Amino acid sequence: MKFWIACLILVTPLISSAHARLKMSAGIAPRTSDAGLKVGPCGNKPKQANPPTLNAGDKITVTWEETINHPGRFEFRFSTDGDVTWSTPVTIPDTQDGGGLPHQYSTELTLPSMTCTNCTLQMIQVMTDNPNNPSNYYSCADFQLVQSNAPTPTPPPAVTPTPSPGGSEDCSMAH
């Protein structure tokens, strides 16, 4: 009995410090599995070196989990300049309140339509238990973007075709 009480005392603070975190999404790994980061924009976690490369403007499925239940919402933003400026958030309501934890979520997001070597996906859990003083948890993942629809290289100058005598084409080599 004393053993179990000791366990509860040890484990409870760890669990109650965790709230929400990004999961691996479209090959992008979160900076940390820590779900208890209270400092924005990314919990003081440094950017990852050589993050994966995705195509600018693509739609990706982002997955995350809520490890401690709170009313509120999840906000997603992108930075294309190394966590300095952020896009207008896409907001997903917290729709799961009962059942077992963690609550699993996913949504489709459109990547920024520009190239970058230091892009960030940020997820903010906005908890509205006290609507006048919401409190946040942060989770970030790093990636790079290249243009998938880059313009094709300028073709070499066209060579004016020589009309074949008689106007008929020899198609014997065309197969």
Residues within the interface to Cu ion (CB under 5 A):
68
Decide whether 29 or 101 has the Cβ nearer to Cu ion.
101
Minimal distance in Å, beta carbon 74 to Cu ion? 14
Decide whether 15 or 146 has the Cβ nearer to Cu ion.
15
Q: Assess contact for 42 and 93: CB atoms under 8 A.
A: no
Decide whether 138 or 143 has the Cβ nearer to Cu ion.
138
Q: Assess contact for 97 and 69: CB atoms under 8 A.
A: yes
Residue with tokens 């919402």: 73
Give me the DSSP letters along 117-128.
EEEEEEEEEEE-
C-alpha distances (whole Å) from 73 to each of 30, 96, 167 are 19, 10, 71
Minimal distance in Å, beta carbon 75 to Cu ion? 17
Decide whether 137 or 143 has the Cβ nearer to Cu ion.
137
Minimal distance in Å, beta carbon 18 to Cu ion? 9
Name the closest residue to Cu ion (Cβ).
68
C-alpha distances (whole Å) from 97 to each of 46, 64, 94 are 32, 15, 8
Q: Cα(145)–Cα(130) distance, rounded to whole angstroms?
A: 38
55: three-class secondary structure by DSSP: strand
Decide whether 67 or 79 has the Cβ nearer to Cu ion.
67
Minimal distance in Å, beta carbon 68 to Cu ion? 5
Minimal distance in Å, beta carbon 1 to Cu ion? 28
